[in-house]
Structure 1
Amino acid sequence: MNYQIDNPNTNSMPDFDQVLVWSVLLLLSIGLVMVYSASIAIAEAQFGANNSGHYLIRHVIYLALGMLLGLAAFQVPVHLWQKYAIFLFLIGMLLLVLVLIPGIGREVNGSQRWISLYVVNLQPSEFMKLFMIIYAADYVVRKAAHLNSFYKGFLPFLVIIGAVGFLLLRQPDFGAAVVITALMIAILFLGGIHLKIFAGLLGLMAGGMFVLIYVANYRLDRIVGFMDPWADPLGKGYQLSHALIAFGRGEWLGVGLGGSIEKLFYLPEAHTDFLLAVLAEELGFVGVATVVILFAILVVRALAIGRQAAKLECHFAALVAQGIGLWIGMQALINMGVNMGVLPTKGLTLPLMSFGGSSITAVCFALAILMRIDWENRQRLRGASI
C-alpha cells in the first residue's frame, strides 16, 4: 500500500519513537540494578557466597533472549501477525493444556504454571497475553459488522474468553485470567462494541471475580489480609505488612542503593513480585515516582501509536498497539497496587523490571511488535511502500 501525506516534516522524522525507546531502556536498566540488589541475599543463601549474582546473570540471559526474539519479531510485517492470529491463539491454547499434564507441567508453590525446557522454564500464560491481544484485534476487525450482534459477534468471543479463563484457573493463575479478560473487554470497547454489551461484560467480569474469590479460601484469605494486614502480621498479612514497612523506611530519598533490610529474608519474593517495595526502601518516593512516570510515558506512547495507526486506517495495528500499551500499564498498575497495599496480594510481576524469564521475554517480544507498528506508521506518513 502507498500512503502520501503532504507534510514537509515527514522526511526528517526519525524511524522510531525515541521517547518510547528511552522509557523502555530506562525501565530495563533500573530493573537490572534492582533485581541484583534485591536478590543478593537469597542467591547467597541458595547457591553460596560466591554466587551472589546468580539471579542477575539469569535475568541478563532472559533479557538478551527477549531482545533477540524482539529483533526477529520486528522484521515481521504487521499484516502477517493478522494473517496468522488464529494459529498463535491455537499455539497458546495448546501450551495452556500441556502445562496441566503431569510430567510436562512443573509445579511451584502449589501452582502448575510452567513447562520445563530443562535450561529454562516456560510460563505459557505470559505469552498467551500477547497472543490473545493479537487474536482479539483480528477478531474485532473481521467481525466489525457483527460486533453488536449477540450471536454472531459477542457470544463466540465470550466462549473463547471462558475457555482461556478455565485453563488459566486450572493452574491456578487468577492474576493472568483477570488481566487477559480485562484486555479482551478493553479491545472490544476500542473496537466499537455497543455500550450496553460492554457494561454487561464488566458486570459479568465483576460477578465472576466475586464467585471465584468466595469459593476459594486462599483467595478470600488474601482479601482479608489485604483489608487489615496488621491484624495478622505473621500470617495472612505477612507479605503486605513487610512491603509497607519497606515503603515507610524509604521515605523521600530512600536508605541508599543496597541498603534494604526487608530484602534480607523478611519480604518474600523480593526480586520478583515485590521488587517495587525494595526499590521504595532503597530509592524512596523519588525512585518510585520515576518508575511510575516512565510506565505512564510508555503507555501514553503506545496509545498514541495506536491512534496514529487508526488515522491511517490500519485498524488491526491500532488495536494491537493499544492492547499492548493497556497490558503493560494494567499489569504495572496491579503490581504497584499490590506492593502499596491498595490491591490484594497477587502474583503478577512488574513488567520490564521484575525477575522472571517468561515475563520479560514476552514483554520484549510485544514491544518489538509495537515498534514495528510505529515504524510502519512512519513509512506510510513518508509515502513509502510497505
Structure 2
Amino acid sequence: MPSADIQWRRVLPDPPLLGAVAALLGLGLVMVYSASAPLATEQVGSSFYVVGRQLVYILLGLAVGAACTLTPPEVWRRLAPFVLLAGLIALVLVLIPGVGERVAGAARWLDLGVARVQVSEPFKVAFILYLGSYLVRKGEAQLGTFVHGLLPILVIAGLSAALLLLEPDFGAAALVVGTGLVMGFLGGIRLRHLLAAALGVLPFAAWAVFGSDYRYQRVVAFLDPWADPLDSGFQLRQSLIAFGRGEYGGVGLGDGIQKLFYLPEPHTDFMFAVVGEELGLVGTLAVLVLYGVVVRRGFVIAERAGDAYGRLVAQGITFLLGFQALAHMGVNLGLLPTKGLTLPLMSYGGSSLVTTLAALGILASIDLHRPGRGTGGGRAAPRQLAGAAA
C-alpha cells in the first residue's frame, strides 16, 4: 500500500515551485495594495478597491490553474491547433471597431460581459502549446530543413506579431517571436536557420520601433531620460528616483511617495519600482531570487518530463515567464526602453494573472503526469529529441 507521502506527491505540484509561486502571489497582493491605495481612494473612495479585485483574480487563477494541472499534457497536445486558432481569431476581433475595446489608444481587450480579457495574454500560452506539438510532429528530419522546419513557424509567428503590433502591443509581439525562436532551437531546428531568421527579423523590428513616433521617443528617453525629464523621460526618471530612495532597506512598506501620482501605473507596469522604493535592495533581490526558483524548477520539470512535447512546452512556459519578469525589471531599472509589461504573479491585472497561473498549471501537469511520478522511483526517461515522440 503506497505511503501517505507518495499519495501526496501524486497530486501536489513541485514543492519548491509551489512555494515560490505562493510567495510571489502573497508579496504581490501586499504590494498591489500599497501601490494602488492612494489612487483607489481618490478615484472610487476605497483603498481596497484594486486589491480586492486582485484577490478575486488570484482565486479565479488558482481555480483555472488547478484545472490545468489535472488535465493531462496529451489533451493539451490534441487541443493545441484549436487553441491557437481561437487565439488568432481573438487577435483579429480586438481590431474590429465596436468589437474590440480600445483603452488609452490601444485595442487589446475583448469585453465578454462578465470580464474584460486582454487577448494577448492567453495567446502567448496558446502559441507555446501549438509550437510544442508542431515541433514534435515534424520530427528531426523535417526540422533540419528550412522549408518544412522553420518556415511554417516564421509564418505563424509573423502573422501573430503583425496582429499584435496593430493593437499595438510591441512587448507581446517580441515575447511571441522570442519564444518561437528559443523553442525552435530547443526543438531541433538548425542554428544557422534560426540565426538567418533572427537577422531577417531585425529590419522589421527596427521599422516597428523607429516607424512609430512614440516608440522612438521611448528609445531616446531610455538612452537619456534626463534630456526631457517632464515628458518622454518622465516615467523612467520617476522609476529611477524610486530605486534611489529605497537604498538598501527601503523606506518602509506603504511609505513610498513615488506611487503618489508621480510614478505612472505603479500597481502594474512599475510594480518593481515600488518594491525597490519601499523594500529596498533587500526586497528586490528577494523578488529576483523567487523568480529564479520558478525558472529553475521549470527547467527541472522540463528535464524530467516523460516525453518531448512535455519537455518543449515546459521550456517554453518557463522561458516566457522568466523573460517577461526580466523585461519588466529591466524597464523599471532603465536597462530596457519603457514598455508596458506586467510583473508576472505580482502586478495587478486579471488577464495576466489568470493566464500566468494557467500556464503554471500546465507546467505542474507535465510534472504530475510524468512516468514514475509519486511511485518513489527515480528520474523519468532520458531527454528525447523532438522527433522521438512523433
**Which band: TM-score by shorter chain?**
over 0.9
Q: Secondary structure at the match of 1:366?
A: helix
- TM-score of the superposition, structure 1-length normalised? 0.93
State yes or no: 1:345 paired with 2:338: yes
Structure-2 separation of matches of 1:296 and 1:331: 13
Residues 338 and 86 of structure 1, relative CA distance in 2, 3 Å threshold: same
Superposed displacement of residue 307, structure 1: 0.8
Structure-2 separation of matches of 1:238 and 1:77: 47
Partner of 1:37: 34
Query: RMSD across aligned C-alpha pairs, in angstroms?
Result: 1.6
Superposed displacement of residue 355, structure 1: 0.3
| 1:123-202 correspondence to structure 2 within 5 Å | 123-144=118-139, 145-202=141-198
Structure-1 separation of matches of 2:337 and 2:114: 33
Partner of 1:319: 312
Q: Secondary structure at the match of 2:98?
A: coil
- Aligned partner letter, 1:32: L
After superposition, the C-alpha distances for 1:344-371 in whole angstroms (9 at most, x for unaligned) are: 0001100000001100000000001101
**Out of 215, 218, 223, which is 2:219 matched to?**
223
Q: Secondary structure at the match of 1:229?
A: coil
Partner of 1:108: 103
Task: Please say if residues 58 and 353 of structure 2, whose CA atoms lie closer than 8 Å, have aligned partners that are also in contact.
Answer: yes
Judge which range, 142-151 or 38-47, deviates more. Answer: 142-151
Q: Secondary structure at the match of 1:84?
A: helix
Superposed displacement of residue 240, structure 1: 0.3
| 1:365-384 correspondence to structure 2 within 5 Å | 365-377=358-370, 379-380=372-373, 382=375
- Aligned partner letter, 1:93: L
After superposition, the C-alpha distances for 1:246-304 in whole angstroms (9 at most, x for unaligned) are: 00000000000000000000011000000110111000000000000100110011011
Q: Secondary structure at the match of 1:382?
A: coil
- Aligned partner letter, 2:220: V
Partner of 2:21: 24
- Aligned partner letter, 1:203: L
**Out of 54, 73, 85, which is 1:78 matched to?**
73
**Out of 234, 237, 243, which is 1:238 matched to?**
234
State yes or no: 1:333 paired with 2:326: yes
Partner of 1:96: 91
After superposition, the C-alpha distances for 1:307-364 in whole angstroms (9 at most, x for unaligned) are: 111xx3x000000111111000000000000000000000110000000110000000
Partner of 1:67: 62
Judge which range, 284-293 or 194-203, deviates more. Answer: 194-203
Partner of 1:286: 282
Residues 62 and 13 of structure 1, relative CA distance in 2, 3 Å threshold: closer
Superposed displacement of residue 120, structure 1: 2.4
Residues 195 and 370 of structure 1, relative CA distance in 2, 3 Å threshold: same
Superposed displacement of residue 116, structure 1: 1.4
Superposed displacement of residue 68, structure 1: 1.1
Partner of 2:382: none
Residues 271 and 11 of structure 1, relative CA distance in 2, 3 Å threshold: closer
**Out of 339, 349, 352, which is 1:359 matched to?**
352
**Out of 251, 261, 271, which is 1:275 matched to?**
271
Structure-2 separation of matches of 1:53 and 1:244: 27
- Aligned partner letter, 2:224: D
Partner of 1:306: 302
State yes or no: 1:87 paired with 2:82: yes
Q: Secondary structure at the match of 1:355?
A: coil
Structure-2 separation of matches of 1:269 and 1:330: 21
Structure-2 separation of matches of 1:380 and 1:60: 32
Structure-2 separation of matches of 1:206 and 1:357: 32
Q: Secondary structure at the match of 2:109?
A: strand
After superposition, the C-alpha distances for 1:84-138 in whole angstroms (9 at most, x for unaligned) are: 1100000101111111111111111110101112342101100001000000000
Superposed displacement of residue 243, structure 1: 0.2
Q: Secondary structure at the match of 2:370?
A: helix
Structure-2 separation of matches of 1:93 and 1:19: 35
| 1:248-259 correspondence to structure 2 within 5 Å | 248-259=244-255
Structure-1 separation of matches of 2:287 and 2:320: 17
Residues 360 and 229 of structure 1, relative CA distance in 2, 3 Å threshold: same
Identical aligned residues as a percent = 47
After superposition, the C-alpha distances for 1:45-98 in whole angstroms (9 at most, x for unaligned) are: 1112xx111100111111111111111112211101001110000010111111
Structure-2 separation of matches of 1:362 and 1:26: 18
Superposed displacement of residue 11, structure 1: 5.6
- Aligned partner letter, 1:111: A
Q: Secondary structure at the match of 1:115?
A: strand
Superposed displacement of residue 382, structure 1: 3.0
Judge which range, 160-169 or 285-294, deviates more. Answer: 160-169
Structure-2 separation of matches of 1:381 and 1:155: 40
